Amino acid sequence: MALRFIRIVCFSTSSLLKTAARSRPLSTSSALRCTKTEQGDSSPQNEQTSEESTEEPHMEEEIPESEVRQRLLDAALEFIPSHGWSVEALAEAAQTEGLPAVSHGMFPRGGGDLALHFVGICNSQLTEQMAQETEQVEEGHVERRHTREFLKDAMETRLRMIVPYVDNWPQAMSLLAQPNCAPDSLKLLSSLVDDMWYHAGDRSADFNWYTKRVTLAGVYTSAQLVLVRDQSPDFQDTWQFIDSRLDNLEQLGKAVRGVAPTVESLAQGLSGAYLTIRNITGFNVRNR
Amino acid sequence: MAALRRVSVHLGRVCRCSNRIIVSRRNLSEQTSSDESDKKESTERSTHFGFESINESEKTGKVHEVFSNVASKYDVMNDAMSLGVHRLWKDRFMQVLDPLPGTRLLDVAGGTGDIAFRFINWVKEKEQQQRKATPGAEFRLNPLETDEPASTPEFPSAEDYLNTEQRADTSDTDEKKDSKVIVCDINQSMLEVGKERAKKLELEDDVVWVTGNAEELPFPDNSVDAYTIAFGIRNVTHIDKALCEAYRVLTPGGRFLCLEFSQVSNPLISSVYDLYSFQVIPVLGELIASDWKSYQYLVESIRKFPNQEEFAEMIREAGFRMVSYDNLTSGVAAIHSGFKI
């Protein structure tokens, strides 16, 4: 829990730092790097001293590559409604940052990279919210909610983040399903459901861990599909769909637990029958 | 010598082309003599011309001679030697660049115009797609179309061509920036062949042909969005200078893209490739272009060119970032990409 708190603090400070640095346009990152001083026939010693003096204060630090990518992806989000999840959106974003349209080449998967970035941001936001709630529960300010209610709420929150882009979300889904993006997309989905279950209170250490996450991932994916076709006011159909699916999950869990004694007795019965038959036929019995 | 190495490591991201001592560091290491005090600028530095060793000052001239000899048969030979695969490589190259309308491209060592023509067709295709998507928008397909009557058929100079329109922010207007392509080559014969092809393809108004040396480009700083060089950089005497020039002419955020022969790592494919290169290609050269030596130079220069990782490191040293490469045909060719950011 302390670790999660530290994570939140780090996340917020890093985002604060980013906003501080954001004032500098991306195009200045390369401005002073290639020095074109007239050097002539200088000897090694002169080279060395002139080199030390070229570490001037006016030589700005270059913006890290990851930050360049982050900024471009963030800027591209506003062009998605008009250009879709595509390199055109990335190119428009590059132009607002003062870079040429060819900079979209920084993202070899084009629209797929943009979709992955968006999914990553949404997942982080959701995790942050859930972590805050968990922290409050642990500190005793709030009561822990029922698992089913928590999951329903988490799913709704997460799906509402897609709503601004719901018109071309099918394009994003198809991009995420392509082989160059599918592994990363699957990773994001699995970490999403893992976080949801963890903050819902799941601490299982047996095969349940897997079944819970797989089934929740199934619910989430199908809810996404319902969301993009949903025409009801405020997407009520989608939230009801999630309700029903979570009901199914609960029933499935109960059914599995209910069946266990029957399965055990069935297994005992079968092994008994086998032994009886073996004894009667004398097959594979060693005479001592 | 140790002091030189310290300085060169310390320079980090600084472009090395202006620092002559650093340029000479690479050539010094090629010389086997350990007599350091004599190796000043007065002695001629040697470089490779295929497997032969010649003086640096001669290399440019010899390369010029090679391409003057092969210019007329260049495209035919490309098809024969690579069995047409070079077309796929160049198509892939353009796919990787994926230029949008409004891009200014400088194609260096682009002699016969393969990349330039692909660029024009790609951009025209994109504009058509955009037009279908947004029926109300207006586009100018012909980049050199102006409101003034075309009185003289001469082309504007390269600098004028690059600066003909305001490069100010047009994002709030409906006017799209025009795409431009300039082909720069050191060899006039190759450019002439390119011009002829442009006429046949009816693309002569869309390309500007400029003679120039990749090590000293006749263009202003920060003037092009994309710099491409396809199968040309291995012929340059000082590759690091060419890379520095690329860095200089690119606008911040601009892309450097290089298509070049590279090393095949798979030993099985490598043995077949070597056999083909040294036994078949010079023979083809003799049969089709009556020029054994030029094609011998070609295959030898491919072997002398640094491998994928080393070349990527050279690109980083010139100041480019986000440097990556893609192998084509298991490493026979590779596309290296870098950004000035």
Contacts of B324 in chain A (CB under 8 A): 108
Residue A268 vs residues A126, A256, A259, A280: alpha-carbon distances, Å:
47, 18, 14, 19
> Measured between CB atoms, does A50 come within 8 Å of chain B?
no
Model pLDDT, residue A141: 86
Confidence (pLDDT) at A240: 95
Flag whether residue A56 sits within 8 Å of chain B, measured between CB atoms: no
pLDDT, mean of residues A206-230:
93
CB B252 within 8 A of CB A27: yes
A13 pLDDT more than 60: no
Average pLDDT for residues B7-30, to the nearest whole number? Answer: 42
Kindly provide the b/e burial profile for residues B195-217, where b requires at least 16 CB atoms within 10 angstroms of the residue's own CB. eebbeeeebbebbbbbebbbbeb
Residue A179 scores a pLDDT above 80: yes
Lowest mean pLDDT: which of A5-14, B129-138, B210-219? A5-14
Q: Please answer whether residues B120 and B203 qualify as being in contact, where contact means their C-beta atoms are separated by less than 8 angstroms.
A: yes
Q: What is the pLDDT of residue A157?
A: 96
pLDDT tens, residue by residue, B273-284 = 999 999 999 898
Report chain A's terminal Cα–Cα distance, integer Å. 63
* Three-class SS state of A5: helix
Say what the pLDDT of residue A206 is.
87
Q: Could you tell me the pTM of the whole model?
A: 0.76
Phi-psi region of B170 (alpha: psi -120 to 50; beta: other; left: phi over 0): alpha
- Do residue A103 and residue B14 have CB atoms under 8 angstroms apart? no
How confident is residue B157, by pLDDT bands cut at 50, 70 and 90? low
Mean pLDDT of A41-61: 43
| B330, amino acid identity | S
CA A95 to chain centroid: 28
From the CA of B311, how many Å to the nearest CA of chain A? Answer: 19
| Option in A33, A39, A100 nearest B19 (CB) | A39
Query: Cβ–Cβ of B15/A45 closer than 8 Å?
Result: no
Which chain B residue lies closest to A31 (C-alpha atoms)? B252
Chain B residue numbers with beta carbons less than 8 Å from the beta carbon of A51 are 7, 10-11
Q: What chain A residue is nearest to B17 in terms of C-alpha separation?
A: A36
Average pLDDT over residues A148-177: 95
Q: Determine the pLDDT at residue B19.
A: 44
Instruction: Supply the pLDDT for residue B142.
Output: 52
Contacts of B15 in chain A (CB under 8 A): 33-36
Backbone dihedral region for residue B58 (phi beyond 0: left; psi -120 to 50: alpha; all else: beta): alpha
What is the pLDDT at residue A25? 77
**More confident position, B85 or A288:** B85
**Edge-to-edge, what's the strand order for the sheet holding B104-108?**
B207-211, B180-185, B104-108, B224-230, B250-261, B333-339, B321-328
Q: What is the pLDDT of residues B71-81, one digit of tens each?
A: 888 888 888 88
- Name residue A39's beta-bridge partners: none
- Cα of B323 to nearest chain A Cα, Å: 10
Q: What are phi and psi of B253, to 5 degrees?
A: 95, -5
Residue B21 at interface with chain A, using a CB cutoff of 8 Å: yes
Task: Name the phi and psi angles at A19, rounded to 5.
Answer: -65, -35
Specify the 3-state DSSP secondary structure of A13: helix
Is the Cβ pair B253, A27 closer than 8 Å? Answer: yes
| CB within 8 Å: A105 and B98 | yes
What rounded mean pLDDT belongs to chain A?
83
Interchain CB contact of B287 with A (< 8 Å): no
B96 interaction partners in chain A (CB closer than 8 Å): 105, 108
- Note which residues in 149-178 of chain A have CB less than 8 A from chain B: none
Average pLDDT over residues B103-113: 92
Average pLDDT of span A71-91: 94
Q: Which of chain B's residues have a Cβ under 8 Å away from the Cβ of A54?
A: 14
**pLDDT at res. B161:** 62
A144, A255, A245: which is closest to A202 by C-alpha? Answer: A144
Which of the pair, B227 or B43, is modelled with greater confidence?
Answer: B227
Retrieve residue A251's tokens: 């029933």
Range of lowest pLDDT (A100-109, A198-207, B246-255, B321-330): A198-207
**DSSP letters for A37-77:** ----S--HHHHHHHHHHTS-TTSPPPPPHHHHHHHHHHHHG
Which residue of chain B is at minimal alpha-carbon distance from A34? Answer: B15
Strand partners for B231: none
Q: Kindly indicate the confidence band of residue B117, based on its pLDDT and cuts at 50, 70 and 90.
A: very high
**Percentage of the residues of chain A whose pLDDT score is greater than 70:** 80
Does the pLDDT at position B63 exceed 60?
yes
Q: Does A90 touch chain B (CB under 8 A)?
A: no
Which member of B11, B225, B252 has the closest CB to residue A31? B252
Chain A residues in contact with B253 by the CB 8 A cut-off are: 26-27, 30, 94, 97-100, 102-103
> Which of B126, B317, B340 has the highest number of chain A CBs within 10 A, making it the mutation to test binding with A?
B340
- The answer to whether the CB atoms of A105 and B339 lie below 8 A apart is yes
Identity of residue B316 = R
pLDDT recorded at residue B147: 47
Best residue in B42, B100, B337 to probe A by mutation, most A CBs within 10 Å? Answer: B100
Is the ipTM of this structure higher than 0.85? no
Name the pLDDT band for B322 (thresholds 50, 70, 90).
Answer: very high
A206 has a chain B CB within 8 A of its CB: no
Q: Tell the residue number behind the tokens 């008009």, with chain if given.
A: A82
Q: Which residues of B touch A68 (CB under 8 A)?
A: 341
Interface membership of B13 toward A (CB under 8 Å): yes
> Is there a contact between A28 and A148 (Cβ–Cβ < 8 Å)?
no
